[in-house]
Amino acid sequence: MENTLFTVNNVWMMICTALVFLMHLGFSLLEIGLTRQKNTINILFKNVFIISIGMVLYALVGFNLMYPGTFMAGVLPNYFIDLFGLSIPENGLTAEYANGGYTYWTDFLFQGMFAATAATIVSGAVAERIKLGAFMVFTIIYVGFVYPIAGSWKWGSGWLDRLGFYDFAGSTLVHSVGGWAALIAVWLLGARIGKFKKDGSIGVIPGHNMPFATTGVFLLWLGWFGFNGGSVLSANPAATSLVLVTTCLAAATGGLSAFLVSLLKYKQYDLSMFLNGILGGLVGITAGADVMSVTDAIVIGAIAGVLIVVGVAFIDKLKLDDPVGAIAVHLICGIWGTLAVGIFGKLAGWEQLSNQFIGVVSIGAFCVISSYTIIKTLKITVGIRVSKIEEQEGLDMHEHGMDAYPDFGLNQH
């Protein structure tokens, strides 16, 4: 019976791993859908690079940085042995590992999928004007070192974990980590040509394929069942079913809330707001999906939807150009979801809210300093922005020498 339960748990975790992997396709379609077709290949290339380099880096250094084992205990002679590469423990393939929830290899693969997500968040925010080489260097450093160090503070039994900070599946440790970097990158990079006009008005730069964007969001919603459901770290029926319910309800109410608020504010049925509202609800529930009731999830999602509409407008007011709304979705709603753990659900209380606030601020400070240092250094040395002519004609032809839709004879600028 024990071996059967161990097998069921491990199979569920592998299914969740596949669902999280599918989210990268969702991000790709969302990003290309909300941007112009002349940059489609460039965005797809970045997303393929992120998951590929992310998995390799996580195998070489990230996994052991995030879950440090003996080297953090001061075993200096074993430092490099423990840090580089994957070294399976004696019980790594048995039910003794992780309380029978999964094997060591499943553990690595599931966590590795999370690691690449942080850089994917940045990809959408900087779309259409960042140099591909500079973005690749940033991704290597951020995914390889910054993300796992931040994650180790909680998930690696670090100081935030001992403090009592709670982040079930990563509203802060994944989404805000990517969101803070996106904010700094957008600030240092500058807006796309034509986004903010000299008279102070905001230029509308529509995406080229809303069906792609919509498909991307549905894929992300599906993938989130693995993102949050797998974070139970077993196939426990009660815990897993609750997490899937709260996740789904927060997504639905986030979308409905964003669409209604944007309708009242702009007098239009805005599909992009509806889509980002769904994502905002998902990000918002991620920190506490396992400790919330149905009502809690609905309220958290609804507030996240409002924050999407307000957040997008606020980002525009600051003259920050985020083509896909990544900062509002992942940073603002990530902060909201993390703080919500101290306001709603089983852990609610002033002490928990204080712990959540400390976690948000400390992770935020670390990510802001790290991302600023990386991107500012790249800006000074190799440059991070493409030339004016490259931006106007499209990165696909200039950096990749091809057109995403050659058979249609289209060249939308």
The 10s digit of each residue's pLDDT in 123-149 is: 999 999 999 999 999 999 999 999 999
Question: Cα(first)–Cα(last) distance of the chain, in Å?
Answer: 62
pLDDT value at residue 71:
40
H or E stretch at 138: helix 132-141
How would residue 74 be classed by pLDDT, with cut points 50, 70 and 90? very low
Q: What is the rounded distance in angstroms from the CA atom of residue 23 to the CA atom of residue 41?
A: 18
What's the DSSP call for residue 336?
H
Determine the length of the chain.
Answer: 413
The angle, 0 to 180 degrees and rounded to 10, between the axes of the packed helices 2-33 and 210-229 is 160
Beta-carbon count within 10 A of 92 CB: 17
Q: Are 112 and 19 in contact (CB under 8 A)?
A: no
Q: What is the rounded distance in angstroms from the CA atom of residue 263 to the CA atom of residue 258?
A: 8
Q: What is the rounded distance in angstroms from the CA atom of residue 298 to the CA atom of residue 253?
A: 6
Mean pLDDT of the chain: 92
Q: What is the pLDDT of residues 165-215, one digit of tens each?
A: 999 999 999 999 999 999 999 999 999 999 998 887 888 899 999 999 999
DSSP three-state, residue 75: coil
Can you state the percent helix, strand and coil of the chain, rounding each to 5?
Answer: 75, 0, 25
Give yes or no for residue 72 having a pLDDT over 80. Answer: no
Closest CA to 340 of 382, 271, 292, 402: 292
Q: What is the rounded distance in angstroms from the CA atom of residue 64 to the CA atom of residue 149?
A: 10
pLDDT value at residue 118:
84
What global pTM score does this model have?
Answer: 0.94
Q: What is the rounded distance in angstroms from the CA atom of residue 302 to the CA atom of residue 297?
A: 8
Q: Are 97 and 91 in contact (CB under 8 A)?
A: yes
